[in-house]
Every structure is written in C-alpha cells, then in structure tokens.
A and B are shown apart, each in its own frame.
Chain A
C-alpha cells in the first residue's frame, strides 16, 4: 500500500499512454489506464481513482462527456480531473472546465507537469 494518489490515465495514443504510465509508475504512483471514454467510465465505476489524467479527444465517448458523467455522480466530487489536449483553444478549455475538469493542460507537456499540476490540486483540495 502506498499513500500516493491512485491515477487513472485516459489517453487514446498508446505511446503517450505508455510514457505517462511508465513515468508515474517509476515514481510509485498507482496507475490505471484507459484508451477510450467508455473504458474510462467503466474503470471509474469499478473503482474510484484519486486523480484522472483525461485526454479530451477520445474515441467512443469524448473527454468532455466523460468528465460530465463522472461529475454527475456526486460521489465522484473528490476526484481530481486534469484534462489535457492538443486543442488548446479557449472555447475548448472553457468547455472542459464547465464539464467538471479541475484543470486544463495543453499538449505537449512533459510528464513532470502533470505531476506538478496534480500535486497542486490535491494540496488545494486537502486545504
């Protein structure tokens, strides 16, 4: 058992998914992965993660819809959702935040950035 937050990485690009998961696992973060929105929702339903790194451009169910559905369940209120996307247009960012994402980070980003953003948000959540 570890006190590090459990992270669900949702990314349709396998290379990125592998990179992020490798990086996080190297630093002992419990990591789960999902390659589309449907799989992500099932994973959350099965077990609530602490943090979700959510790519917005996903097959089947896109990232905005995934965030909205997760947030529609009040029991998921504590899950930190960090959205990341190559579409860094303001409208899309706003849409992501309205869907329930806590933070938006644009690609490209080094894995360290995700960890930094996650730590900030957790720190903020924990007060």
Chain B
C-alpha cells in the first residue's frame, strides 16, 4: 500500500483553525494599527482642540458681550437725551444729563467689572462723560479738565464714521491717558460705536476700554491636563502675537512690533502662512510640535481683525499618546492571538481527543489486548464509531477466545501426538536397533553353520571321506552351487536390511583411506573364479591405469565384489566375456559384459530381462530372482553412502551390458 506521510488530524485542525482565526486577527489588527494613526492623532489632539475651541468661544463670547454692552449703552434713553438736549441745556441741566449717563455707566461697569473705562466722546473727539473702573469694585467719574480729547485716537477716527449699530474693535493696545501710556501698563481693547440724537444726527461715539486680560487671562490660566507644557497663543492677521502663554512672547508695547513677537520667528514660513491664511480649524505638524489652530474673531470683527488661536504641543508627547494606543492595540492583538492560538489548540485537542482515544484503543487491541474497550464519552459520530469498534472488538475477542481454545485444544492434541510420535519414534528406533541386532545375529547364526556345511562339502568334494561316484560328485557340486547362491541371497537380504536399519538409526560409519581399486578388483576376480569356470565365462581385466582412491576400502571391496557377482551370476550370462577397465581420470571402473544368449528366449524379451535384473530393485519372477538383483541393490546402497553412483546401460550391441561405477 502506497501511503504518504501526513500531518496528524489534530495538527491539520490546528492549522485550519489558525488559518481561519489568526489571519483575520492579524490583518485586522495590523490594519487597525496602521489606519488608526490619523484618528488616533485626532483623538490625541482632541484635548488641545477643545482647548483652543473653548478659548475661541470665550473670546468671541466676551467680544459679543462687550459689543452688546456698548450698543446697549448707545441706546440708553439718557444717552439720547444727552445727545439731543445737551447743547441747548443750561449748565445745571447739563450736569443732570451727565449724571444720568454716569449713573448708567457706573451701573454697567459695576455689573461687568471687566472694563477699564467707558466714555462718551462727542463728535469733535472730546470726552464728555467718562467713568473709570478699578478692581475690585471702585469706579471714578472723570470730570472737567480730566476729560481728554480723543479725536486723534484710532478708535475715534475709525468709529465716528461707522453706520449706526456698527462697532469698531481696536487691536490690543496699552492704554494711554493724555497721550501717555498709563502705568502700570494696562492692555486694553477699545470698542467704539457711533451714537446719534433723536434726530438721527451722529453726535459722537461711545467707547468701552476692555481690559485685554479679560480675554487673554485664560490663555495662561487654562491648562490642558494631558499636555501641561503646551503653549497657546493668539495671533493677529499679521502674525504678531496678541497674547501668548509664554509671557516673554507677548507684545509688550504697541510700538515695538518686532519679528521676535511674530510666529514667523518661531515657525517656518509655510507653517506660519498656513496658520494665518486658513479659515478653518485644523492642525499642522512641524518637526518638533503639533499646532492646533482655530479662528476666534466674532463675525462682526472679521472685517477688521482676523485673530487665530493656536495651541502648540510637543510632537513627541502627541505621538507618545498615539504610540501608547498603538502599543495597547498591539498588546491586545498579541493577547487575542495568544487566546486564538490557545483556543485553536484546545479545540483541535478536544475535536481529536476521541479520535486519539480510538486510535490508542485500536493500537492496544491490534497489539493483542482484546479486553480493552474505548471510552464512549459522547454519542456523536466518533462516539458511535467507538461504540461500533467496541462491539467489533468484543466479537473479535469472542472469536479469538474461541480460536485460542481451539488452538489450545489442537496444541494439546498435537503435543500428545508429538509425544506419541516421539514414543513411536523411540519404539521405532528401538525396533530398528532390535532389527539391526537381530539381523547381525541372524547373519552370524547363518554364517557359522554354513561354514560347517561348506567345509563338509569341501571335504566330500576333495574325496577326504573317500572316493565319490561321479553322480555323487555332481550332486555335491549342485549342492555347493545352490548353497552358495542361497547364502549369497540370504546374505544380500541381510546386508540390505542391515544397511537400511543402520541408515535409519544413523549407525553408519565410513572409514576412509588411500587404496588401489585395481587391487580390490583383482581380489574380487579371485573370489568369482569358481563361478566363472562354472558358467564358462572369460574375464579380462585391462589394468593399464592404476586407480587409487581415498574411500572406505571395505565398502568399495564389497561393491566391486557384489557387482562382479551380479554380472557373473546373472541367469542369462553364459559363455560370455566380461571386460573390466578402470579410469583414474574419471575416477570410475567400467565393467562390460558381453552376453551370449541361448535360444530359450526371444531376443527382445531377453534384453528387457537383462536390463530389469540389473536396474530394478526386485523382480517378482521366480525365473530371474537371484544374486544379481540383490548384489546391485547392495552396491547402490553402499555407493549412496560413499557419494558415488552406479549406472547401467547397453553398449552399441544389444547384448552388451555396461556397468559404470563412479567412486
């Protein structure tokens, strides 16, 4: 099975969760941090903006209030009477008319407490009625010679020609009395409006000298809590500071309009220009500071002056606030990410926990622990799978138990059978040994009496017991021959049985030594001389090549002797020629027997019979059973033990048998 290496389900789930959750969080967080800079800047500057706006409102409101007061004063009935009837009145009446106005002015000053003085100036520029006010609550009516001619003043010149209801507002200026700066210096703003009599004739102006500190005191007093070191200033349309939170930069004297009291000395031209020209609220950033500005002139003043209020805060501090927010965002983002990762890990763990349990359980079960059951904690799909798996395992356990019982039963039977077999094997071994012993004993028991029989026959044959008749001699020879064949037959059977038993019991020993095969052949030939002469056969041993081998001499002797006996005692070999050759090169001996057939058998049958007698282990035919067959069997058995071989074949002529013994 071709399987790819893969991540675990838990890891995959974790990755999916992270891909789904973390990416949006990171993108959102990063975008929020990136795009929040401007709103955050606005947010950071909000207190500053509030400050300047509040301050601008304050200035506007104050100026409106002053404007209302001066217009109110211009429309007082006493003022109208004064203007209408002053010229025609007597001195006493004039005093009364003036007193009415003084009372009205005193009332206004006492009520407002922020004006330096209020005066009526006739159309020639001469003060007619004037009341000064000093804090905390003292007023003084200026009369007689103390009344001044103000015809040269800017406020008179600029206001006398105004339409009724219009108010002139001067720049901030140090108050002068009789052409001399009042001491201590009192910075004031003059507001003036023309007045008319009941006939609609302009009869002069009313002037209110507003103490400038009323407008500009908050500039110093009001502090921005977030930016305590912030500087604020009011600048006029030319760029000069009208008021500044830094007292050093406030214009001290109206005739000393130098650049050091100008925004141009503190800010680049571009910034300064923007501050002066901008009609809207806004902010500017310089290298070191952020400037928040707004216009503060009331509408009625806009034709005459354009005042702007500017608050300057340290850029570092502003951005520190922004950075603080960014860091806070980043911290929140990191915490969120950590939480997301933790939750993703927790969820993936939770999701895969049943699968892991199932897998571990399956591993234990596959490892052989069929008694193990997987905990089914919930009946979802995995739970059902685990339940089914448990059922399957239970069935498997049952089957396995059954199988084990059967195996155990079979093993027991097998063991018993093995024991029986072993017992039988032992019995067989014993039996084999007994057979071997019996065969050995049989061989001994046969050989000993046979020795006696053969000996006695020899005695008879040699006429030791007296002269035998010719028939007796023939009978003795027949007995001798048959006895010899019977012995060979019995001996062959015993020999084969002995070899078989010895092979089964492992009681076969091979004693190897160097010896001459040719010599063994010569000895074997000697032992068959009697048979050769009996069958009138000729044997040629062409021992041109002396074959020496390293083998078991006794067994080789027996093999050669057995093969020669097999050939000589073959029932069909008569009057033939046996030729033996040896080859040291091929390590073999070849025994060739040329058979001269009698006329008793058809030739084809004879050939088969000859071959069968030499090749087949046993022939169940009384005609052909003899030493040949047994001897060949013994020879083959011995050659197998010695790792040799015996091949039987025909020569070119069909009556020539070739037996090749390879050692």
Contacts and interface: CB of A to CB of B under 8 A. Distances in A.
Interface of A is mostly: helix
Contacts of B450: 107-108
B454 A90 contact: no
Contacts of A91: 509
Contact of B444 (A16, A87, A90, A94): A87
A88 B457 CA distance: 23
Given A13-B452, A86-B445, A110 B554 contact: no
Interface string A5-46: 000000001011001101100100000000000000000000
Contact of B455 (A89, A90, A93, A111): A111
Contacts of B449: 15
Given A22-B464, A91-B509, A108-B487, A86 B448 contact: yes
Interface of B is mostly: helix
Contacts of B462: 23, 26
A110 B444 contact: no
Interface string B628-658: 0000000000000000000000000000000
Interface residues of A, number: 24
Contacts of A108: 447-448, 450-451, 453-454, 487
A23 B452 contact: no
B511 interface: yes
Contacts of B456: 15, 19
A23 B451 contact: no
Contact of A110 (B455, B552, B555): B455
A19 B445 contact: no
Given A19-B452, A26-B462, A107-B451, A57 B554 contact: no
B458 interface: yes
Interface in B106-129: none
B121 to A, nearest CB: 170
A106 interface: yes
B444 A57 contact: yes
Given A22-B464, A108-B487, A13 B454 contact: no
B378 interface: no
Nearest to B444: A86
Given A90-B554, A94-B511, A109 B454 contact: yes
Nearest to B450: A108
Nearest to A104: B554
B462 to A, nearest CB: 7
Interface of A: 13, 15-16, 19-20, 22-23, 26, 57, 86-91, 93-94, 106-112
Lowest 5 A-B CB distances belong to which pairs? A19-B455, A86-B447, A86-B444, A108-B450, A107-B447
